[in-house]
Structure 1
Amino acid sequence: MLSCKLKIKQIAVFHTDTKIIFSILPKQKRSSCPLCNKYGNRIHSHYVRSLADLPISGKLVQLQLRARKFFCRNKSCPRKIFTERFSQDILPYARRLCRSIDVLRSIGLEVGGNKGALISRIAGNPVSSSTILRLIQQLEIEGTTTTSGVIGVDDWAFKKGRNYGTIIVDLERKKVVDLLPDREADTLKQWLLKHPEIHTVSRDRASAYSKGTKEGTKEAIEVADRYHLHVNLRDAFKRVLHKHSTTLKAAFIAFSRPGNREPLLEEEKARSLPTPKCTSNSQRQMKFEKAKELHQQGYRIKTIAKMLQAGPRTIGKYIQHDEFPKRQAPVPQVTMTNFHEFREYLPKFYGKQDYPTLYKNIRDKGFNGKYTQFCSNMNQFIKPDSDNIFLPKLSPIKTWSTSKISFMVLQPEDRLKKTDQAFLKFLYNKAPEIKAAVEMAVQFKSLFKNKEEGPLESWLTRALQPESELRSFAQGVKHDYSAINQVVISVISNGQVEGQVNKLKNIKRMMYGRANFPLLKKMVLHESMVHQK
């Protein structure tokens, strides 16, 4: 069973239901001192040493080795007595044979500590997760000493939003070169100074990476990350949509009209309550105003919630407040008004004008109450009676979030749903300023296709004009012009780095919080070496 290279002999075998025990004796006549390497053959004493081996037919295997202690023959050696050493398979102080250690370590490197402990138990060689992690930590794995000269740099999160590290990938060999414990410019600089062969760096758009690359290399070519450029472009366009939230809200309502999208009229803006100063979400603002309008027409909360695709509790909260964001509605004064004088006038315009417009009209005609008193009287006046409780069925109002629209405008038209295509055409027709921003964004995205010098400078000239909606984004592009221009003219991409970051995340999650930086680094570098082979 044991390797023939081990100088031991078997003297007895014991069996139980779960374990096989081998009693063995060493055959070597002498052993070298671990300090002075002098051989000693005079025995001082002996003790029994237990060693675990690979399982046999699902049973645990244990070796009971009668290890000896020798006197050191070197009188000047500080160690007078030492335990005999074996050249192979048995390490000093080890509790199992080397082949058992290699199997457990391989399992741990593949699936981590907890899963590795589970698999080892199923395989008949049970150990704890801490043992597997300890075996991995004993393994010496270092980063690559030389690279191809073209690397990619990106950050990854120890814990998102708190602390980050840096991953460095050889883009030509497609393997992880090293991990850095932070994303500071000086750390990257010191690493680059040890690798003078690097001439091209594809990096995240973080200023720290830009600074570290410039200080750590001699005029290395910097290439910005194309993915993050697209993310920055979408974020810039979302700010444009927030800026035109009133127009976007009116487009939602007009687009959802029966008869397919009547033109936006000026009076459409007057059919909604005044827009709060703090609103940043046109979609929620539109639902708030529409919910109040429908409730005033007599529709139930469940019907409104279904039509607006919102929860009943949300609609109930909207109805209880007069303004958005939520504010406590003023308590109406209990005073008499002359509302009864307008009971014949109001039905002619109900359904054609909203409450603010009706209130303004009767106010001009002599109504002496406040707006809250008007609403209270109006709700009682139009409350459906038992003979007229069925109101016309309302069609849902289709809305899109600003994030969804920012994705839609940068997609080819043939990839969009017909409803999305129709809405974008409708929006472009009614909001020329949004259409101009979309055209500018699409032009920027198309710069990466032809790999030609010059188009980026022409685009910047147009985008930096005072009337441009993407002017702030263009200023950021101008600040990092050389790296972004390399994206336009070069085929180098940071996509390989993003893939390696995803692998790193999977490894980090396997460790269940036990993956401190040295352990995680060994796991990632081992995974990269195995993949490279």
Structure 2
Amino acid sequence: MASETVFFSARSSTRQAACPGCGTVSDRVHGGYRRRLADLAVAGRSAVIDLLVRRFVCPVASCPRGTFAEQIAGLTEPFARRTPPLRQALEKVALALAGRPAARLAKHLSLPASPNSLLRLLRRLPDKTSGTAPRVLGVDDFAFKKGHVYGTILIDMESGDRVDVLPDRTSETLAAWLREHPGTEVVCRDRASAYAEAVRTASPGAVQVADRFHLWKNLCEAVEKCVAQHRKCLAEPTTGATAEPTVTEADDTPQPVAGRRAIKRRERHAAVHALYDKGVQIQVIADTLHLDRKTVTRYAHAATPEEASLATGSRSYGQVHAYTPHLHRRWNEGCTDAARLHAEIVELGYRGSKRTVRRHLQEIRASGKPAPDKPQELTVRKATWLITAHPDKVDESKALKLKQLLSRCPELEAAAECVREFAQMMTERQGSKLDGWLARAESTGMKPLQSLARGLRQDFDAVTAGLTLEWSSGRVEGNVNRVKRIKRDGYGRAGFDLLRRQILLAD
């Protein structure tokens, strides 16, 4: 069997060398010794160089080095067992894939190295430091552990280079960095108050730019809350023979499950706000009411119980609406077993749970009536999409649905008008119109839009700049996604120092 390693024997012909301690050139040979250096692979096989080098005597008596070994440029480094080309290749692999994945790839390339050796190579790389900050700085946070621990990434918005990574997302840490690195003229950020305070404190002359994507996202969230408050308008009016009779025979039917959930939601909302309005902390409320902290946070930040209900639906519950025609047809055919119906729509591509299907059919089961041939009511999310979508993406049938919805609900018509004006202001960079738009949003009388307007007024200068200047946080968001990939490669085993080097130094 052929050897998997190629060996090369070589010797140095140098007759003199400079002392690394004092720089004096010496030609007095003290002796020699052999070095074994791993090198780049040759023809798919790992390579080892067996090198004979000389040791010289330093002629300067006061030099602390009595003898020294010669170094061959491009081939040897002090105390190294790898050649510089091999070391650089392993550094690139380690920067791209971290420890274990990089070790597996290096093995396939006939450059064997252990995961720990690769991580040590990363930690020896020179740090990326800069005395001044870029002219246009992008700031955003990313999660070390989602929902618990966050860091901050800084980007040069003009070149796209990573500038630095901070261990948290507090205003004090960013302000300290800005003081140590002066020169920033423009700061692109989301609407986080901590970053805004840091820039005001450390770089008061810098122009703050609120990201347009986050502004549009905030507007869509406010519109969704408005639609939820007027969900009764989503149902298409029945006509003629399809209208429901006005007799009250259905008064004795059991209360639908949806109604019981609404009552429970109102009770929870009242209980949370009874404590939250007194200044009680979120965690204390959660412990007192025996609720999850996230649930308490959702109710505490919702002005009405309906707003709190927007975040309770799962993705699979929204997916089940795509299979409503099949479920209703089978129900009317006599198949009322939720497990069997779930199995049928799974074959059609559904990926949700049986419990979701059962909940979807609860209202029909409680009513004791046949299922409608097709749902006559828009969902909150679909109606929100119709109001906020670009007109070019809305076909004629959907545009007709939107027109009918807005004709039934003047409040949503006012919200849709606000959306159109904001979209025009954002795409045409007309930030000077922001003050007038805020006044119109406040005059609609809809609390979600009024709340959004109050928040934008508090950050008025940054929002105006975001709707006027060319800068946005797109490059920062792209790097945040890249950080997520680096974290996955590390399997949660890397410390901050190693993660920081990977973020800053990788290609």
Q: TM-score, normalised by structure 2?
A: 0.72
Are 1:123 and 2:158 matched, yes or no? no
1:428: which partner in 2? 406
Deviation at residue 262 of structure 1 after TM alignment: 6.5
Instruction: Note if contact 2:364-2:371 (Cα within 8 Å) is conserved in structure 1.
Output: no
> How far apart are the structure 2 equivalents of 1:179 and 1:158?
12
Structure 2: where are the runs of 5+ without partners? 266-308, 322-327
| Equivalent residue in structure 2 for 1:92, among 59, 75, 78 | 78
**CA drift at 1:140:** 1.5
1:165 equivalent in structure 2: 151
1:241–1:402 contact (8 Å) kept in structure 2: yes
Task: Report the CA distance between 1:473 and its aligned residue.
Answer: 1.0
1:252-331 equivalent positions in 2, closer than 5 A: 252=235, 254=236, 273=256, 274=259, 276-279=262-265, 280=309, 300-302=335-337, 313-314=355-356
Q: Is the 8 A contact 1:264 1:430 kept in 2?
A: no
Which residue of 2 is the match for residue 59 of structure 1?
A: 45
Q: Which amino acid aligns with 2:419?
A: A
Measured at CA, do residues 233 and 266 of structure 1 come closer, stay the same or move farther in structure 2, by a change above 3 Å? Answer: farther
Aligned residue among 165, 175, 199 for 2:161: 175
Distance 1:143 1:267 in 2: 77
Distance 1:226 1:515 in 2: 33
1:312 and 1:508 map into 2 onto residues whose CA distance is: 34
Between structures 1 and 2, the one with greater helix share: 2
1:288-341 alpha-carbon deviations (Å, 9 max, x no partner): xxxxx99999954248958999866556578899999xxxxxxxxxxxxxxxxx
Return the letter of the residue paired with 2:80.
A
Q: Are 1:231 and 2:217 matched, yes or no?
A: yes
Q: Summarize the alignment of residues 354-373 of structure 1 with structure 2, pairs less than 5 Å apart.
A: none
Helix, strand or coil at the partner of 1:23:
strand
1:388 aligns with none
- Between 475-484 and 130-139, report the one with greater CA deviation: 130-139
- Quote the offset at 1:152 in angstroms: 1.7
Judged with a 3 Å threshold, the aligned counterparts in structure 2 of structure 1 residues 258 and 176 are, in CA distance, closer, same or farther, namely farther
Q: How far apart, CA to CA, are the structure 2 residues paired with 1:183 and 1:41? A: 58
Percent identity for Structure 1 against Structure 2: 31
Once the two structures are superposed, residues 158-201 of structure 1 have per-residue CA deviations (whole angstroms, 9 ceiling, x without a partner) of 22222222222222223322222221212221222234322111
Return the alpha-carbon distance in structure 1 between the equivalents of residues 249 and 388 of structure 2.
29
Is the Cα–Cα contact under 8 Å of residues 120 and 127 in structure 1 kept in the other structure?
yes
Aligned length: 440
CA distance in 1, matches of 2:136, 2:241: 55
Change (3 A) 1:66 1:315: closer
Whole-Å Cα distance in 1 between the matches of residues 462 and 223 of structure 2? 22
Quote the Cα distance in structure 1 between the aligned partners of 2:2 and 2:329.
80
Distance 1:211 1:23, change over 3 A: same
Separation in structure 1 between the aligned mates of residue 173 and residue 441 of structure 2, nearest angstrom: 36
SS at match of 1:301: coil
Aligned to 2:276: none
In 1: Cα distance, 2:144 partner to 2:181 partner: 26
Q: Structure 2 CA distance, aligned partners of 1:123 and 1:52? A: 13
Structure 2 CA distance, aligned partners of 1:413 and 1:217?
41
Partner of 1:337: none
Looking at structure 2, the residues matched to 269 and 317 of structure 1 have their Cα atoms a distance apart, in angstroms, of: 21
**Contact 2:174/2:198 (8 A) holds in 1:** yes
1:504: which partner in 2? 483
Q: Is the 8 A contact 1:301 1:316 kept in 2?
A: no
Q: CA deviation at 1:33?
A: 4.9
Note the C-alpha offset of 1:29.
4.2
In the alignment, what sits opposite 1:346? none
Other-structure match for 2:302: none
Structure 1 residue 512: deviation in Å?
A: 3.8
Which residue of structure 1 lines up, in the alignment, with residue 471 of structure 2?
Answer: 492
Where 2:263 maps in the other structure, the secondary structure is coil
- Return the match for 1:468 from 432, 435, 446: 446
Match of 1:489, SS state, is coil
1:472–1:79 CA distance, 2 compared to 1 (3 A): same
Contact 2:140 2:190 in 1 (8 A): yes
Which residue does 2:136 correspond to in 1? 150
2:268 alignment partner in structure 1: none
User: Offset of 1:463 from its aligned partner?
Assistant: 2.0
Distance in 1 of aligned mates of 2:194 and 2:441: 26
SS at match of 2:415: helix
1:245-281 Cα shifts (integer Å, max 9, x gaps): 4x15xx34x47x6989969999999797445313426
- The separation in 2 between residues aligned to 1:260 and 1:225, in whole angstroms, is 52
How far did 1:143 drift?
4.0
What is the Cα deviation at residue 51 of structure 1?
0.9
The Cα offsets for residues 183-242 of structure 1, whole Å up to 9 and x where unpaired, read as 121222122223432211111110111011111113211110111111211222222233
Question: Residue 50 of structure 1 contacts residue 65 of structure 1 at CA under 8 Å; is this kept in 2?
Answer: yes
Aligned to 2:173: 187
Give the Å deviation of 1:448. Answer: 1.3
Q: Report deviation, 1:523.
A: 3.1
| Counterpart residue identity of residue 518, structure 1 | D
RMSD (Å), alpha carbons: 4.4
Spell out, residue by residue over 1:15-53, the C-alpha distance to the aligned partner (whole angstroms, 9 max, x if none).
962222233333334555544455666666654432112
Q: CA 1:296 to 1:19, structure 2 compared with 1: closer, same or farther past 3 Å? A: closer
- Report the counterpart of residue 521 of structure 1 in structure 2: 500
Cα deviation for residue 479 of structure 1 reads: 0.8
- Go from structure 1 to structure 2 and tell me whether the alpha carbon gap of 1:268 and 1:482 turns closer, same or farther (over 3 Å shift): farther
- What amino acid sits opposite 1:500 in the alignment? N
Distance of aligned partners of 1:269 and 1:164 in 2 relative to their CA distance in 1, 3 Å threshold: farther
Q: Does the CA contact (< 8 Å) of 1:167 and 1:180 recur in 2? A: yes
Separation of aligned partners in 1, 2:12 and 2:241: 93
Counterparts of 2:457 and 2:187, CA distance in 1: 19
2: distance between equivalents of 1:443 and 1:116? 51
Relative to structure 1, is the Cα distance of residues 72 and 409 closer, same or farther in structure 2, using a 3 angstrom cutoff?
same
The answer on whether the counterparts of 2:150 and 2:167 sit within 8 Å (CA) in structure 1 is: yes
Q: What amino acid does structure 1 have at the position aligned with 2:435?
A: E
Aligned residue for 1:501, secondary structure, equals helix
Aligned-pair CA distance for 1:458: 1.0
Unpaired runs of at least 5, structure 1: 1-14, 288-292, 325-353, 356-390
SS in 2 for 1:17: coil
The reply on whether 1:396 has 2:374 as its aligned counterpart is yes
CA gap of 1:446–1:62, structure 2 versus 1, over 3 A, is same
Q: Which residue of 2 aligns with 1:481?
A: 460
Which stretch has the larger CA shift, 418-427 or 135-144?
418-427
SS of 1:124's partner is coil
- The TM-score, its normalising length taken from structure 1, stands at 0.69
Match in the other structure for 1:447? 425
| 1:202 is aligned to 2:177 | no
C-alpha distance 453-94 of structure 1, shift in aligned 2 (>3 A): closer
Deviation at 1:422, TM superposition (A): 4.1
**Does the C-alpha gap of structure 1 residues 49 and 264 become closer, same or farther in structure 2, counting only changes over 3 Å?**
farther
8 A contact 2:332–2:370 mirrored in 1: no
Mapped to 1, the partners of 2:245 and 2:437 lie a distance apart of 32
